[in-house]
Amino acid sequence: MIRKDNTGARNPIQTVYRSLDVITVVLLLTGQITIGGVFFFQGGGFSISLFGPITGAQRSVGVQGVPGANVVIDLVDLIAAFLLITDQVNVVGTLITANHFTIVISGPPFGEAKRTAAYPLETQNFFSIYKDHVAQKCKARPL
């Protein structure tokens, strides 16, 4: 769901964030990434780390000899995909290691605050002034 501000315009940053969520859902449902770990926070919340072959890591598999291990991993992947597609959790960042990176998701169901995209007026003003300054220094017409 793409949110609109008071003027009815789409928030471009929110659109990018939402696109990351949808791409992550596709990767989860196609088996390219799976749960790789959990980060616990002091306040009681947690985040889930997702990785797989597409991020440079091996896909998590269940322990040999434990009949339902792969089913549990797949079930967690489905729940994570559902929470992402319903916008209850979101991609909040990445963790880069020596050999691969992970996609980190979190949100209110995991005890963490919802993170929203913002493009404050001060930031808009800064980039507007910066654009004019660069155009003046490069002797180009401002857009």
φ/ψ of residue 4, rounded to 5: -115, 150
pLDDT digits (tens, 9 = 90+) for 73-95: 889 999 999 999 999 999 998 98
Residue-wise pLDDT for 44-73, tens only, equals 899 999 999 988 888 877 778 787 888 888
Note the pTM of the prediction, 2 decimals. Answer: 0.73
Please answer whether residues 37 and 102 qualify as being in contact, where contact means their C-beta atoms are separated by less than 8 angstroms. yes
Closest CA to 95 of 61, 59, 50: 50
Instruction: Return mean pLDDT, the chain.
Output: 84
Helix (H) or strand (E) holding 141: none
Give residue limits of the domains in the chain.
12-118
